[in-house]
Amino acid sequence: MAQKESTGDGSEYEAGATAEGGRVRTDDGALSTALASPLAEHCTGLTPEQLLAAAFASCLHHAAVEAATGVTDESHTVQVKARARLARDPDGRYRAEVRATVGSVGLTRQQLTDLARGADRLWPFPSTGEPRHTLTVVPASAVTA
């Protein structure tokens, strides 16, 4: 379960995960699974694009449920579907594309539009406007066995 830490501006949530030896696991052990890779076709497990789709769907779902409170009293019916695609650019670097849909039972097209826009405004990876996320990649100080 994610750690919750209260701050003056609201709440912060934090979780950690480690991938090594063909497996990924969260620090709390709630998720532990084998990894698959197109680079190692003999491996079975979840692929990076599956995990990316699941992470984006769960994060956007949380925002959509929160946004739904202003649109419907049926927020428990909110559904988010995400598809992630990883591809290589000609220079060899990976590129990620994620597409998501937000839906809920019994809403009009306008209400669905309002719900999707509201969720997109709340979460840290908006499709329009300025993103509100930071990614930092640094070398580990030491890897322990």
Q: pLDDT-derived band of residue 41, with 50, 70 and 90 as boundaries?
A: confident
Length of the chain: 145
Q: pLDDT-derived band of residue 137, with 50, 70 and 90 as boundaries?
A: confident
| Residue 144, pLDDT above cutoff 80 | no
116 vs 38 pLDDT, higher one: 116
Identify the residue whose tokens are 């580990």.
140
Q: What is the DSSP string of 81-125?
A: EEEEEEEE-TTS-EEEEEEEEEE-TT--HHHHHHHHHHHHHHSSS
> What's the rounded Cα separation, in Å, for the pair 72 and 141?
49
- Quote the DSSP letter at residue 40: B
State the average pLDDT for the chain: 88
Mean pLDDT score, 40-62: 92
Q: Is 110 exposed, middle or buried (0-12, 13-18, 19+ CB in 10 A)?
A: exposed
